[in-house]
């Protein structure tokens, strides 16, 4: 198959462009299934998570249909997919999680040193909201989740860090990230995420900066692992 090696720059976009081009030229016809993720990664010379980001971008744009447990199927085009080409963000979800790991882990450590009673109350209220959303059966309890991370940043007392975290979360709530997350969310995942948040708060309350940093890093790295787990065994 006429794939080309990918240069290491905005990988998922380059991968999506190649697959989109092959579909447009008829290499993959509507209704056909794309090669497994592992084979695409090998032929393109990139990582499997990068392929996954590209496939989700193509799903958002309407080029493919991701069916967990079955495969990735080419969609028939009606002209609308091309108009949606610019919809996904330039920052891939997994790249975003790496950035959050760097920034928010340090925010948690600083919050453990600087948080006052009002900050602790605000973080606790955010987790209470997250619990309510989960109990109500919401697939993505983002209100409480986002509030918690924002409150941690605010507890640092550093306005620049607050602005950076808000920017990262703006990307976090974008269509590309949410579509990828939809394929992985489950009650067990949400319960695990809540426990991970509670561990961060516990360390902040205890004024344990090292523990808060470690707990936030663990949460974000587990989130990365959840979103980068292979699809192949489920296909």
Q: pLDDT digit string (tens) for 177-227? A: 888 888 777 888 899 999 999 999 999 999 999 999 999 999 999 999 888
- pLDDT of 79: 58
Percent of the chain with pLDDT over 70: 88
Residue 6 falls inside a structural domain: no
Residue where one domain finishes, among candidates 41, 63, 83: 83
81: its two tokens = 């997919």
Evaluate if residue 13 carries a pLDDT over 90.
no
- pLDDT of 231: 60
Same domain, 76 and 97: no
| Contacts (Cβ under 8 Å, ≥6 apart) of 42 | none
Measured in residues, the chain has a length of 235
Same domain, 34 and 102: no
pTM of the shown model: 0.81
CATH of the domain at 74: 1.10.10.10
Q: Span 33-58, mean pLDDT?
A: 90
Q: Is 99 exposed, middle or buried (0-12, 13-18, 19+ CB in 10 A)?
A: middle
Evaluate if residue 235 carries a pLDDT over 80.
no
Same domain, 140 and 163: yes
Confidence of residue 233 (pLDDT cuts 50, 70, 90): very low
Same domain, 17 and 112: no
- Distances, alpha carbon 177 to alpha carbons 133, 158, 192, in Å: 19, 27, 19
Same domain, 132 and 223: yes
**Residue where the block lists tokens 């967990």:** 68
Same domain, 105 and 173: yes
Domain that holds residue 23: 11-83
Give the residue, 141 or 58, on which the prediction is more confident. Answer: 58
Residue 156 falls inside a structural domain: yes
Give the residue, 231 or 214, on which the prediction is more confident. Answer: 214
Q: What mean pLDDT value characterizes the chain?
A: 87
């Amino acid at each position: 198959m006429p794939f080309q090696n990918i240069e290491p720059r905005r990988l998922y976009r380059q991968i999506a462009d190649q697959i989109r081009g092959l579909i447009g030229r008829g290499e993959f016809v509507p209704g056909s299934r794309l090669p497994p993720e592992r084979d695409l990664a090998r032929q393109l010379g990139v990582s499997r998570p990068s392929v996954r980001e590209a496939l989700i971008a193509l799903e958002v744009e309407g080029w493919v249909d991701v069916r967990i447990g079955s495969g990735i199927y080419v969609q028939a085009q009606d002209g609308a997919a091309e108009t949606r080409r610019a919809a996904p963000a330039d920052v891939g979800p997994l790249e975003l999680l790496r950035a959050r790991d760097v920034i928010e882990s340090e925010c948690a450590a600083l919050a453990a040193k600087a948080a006052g009673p009002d900050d602790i109350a605000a973080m606790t209220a955010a987790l209470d909201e997250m619990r309510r959303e989960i109990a109500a059966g919401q697939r993505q309890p983002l209100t409480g989740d986002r509030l918690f991370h924002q409150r941690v940043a605010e507890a640092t007392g550093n306005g620049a860090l607050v602005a950076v975290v808000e920017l990262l979360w703006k990307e976090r709530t974008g269509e590309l990230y949410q579509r990828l997350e939809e394929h992985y969310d489950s009650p067990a995942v949400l319960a695990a995420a809540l426990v991970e948040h509670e561990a961060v708060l516990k360390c902040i309350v205890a004024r344990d900066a090292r523990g808060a940093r470690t707990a936030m890093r663990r949460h974000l790295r587990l989130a990365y692992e959840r979103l980068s787990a292979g699809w192949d065994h489920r296909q």
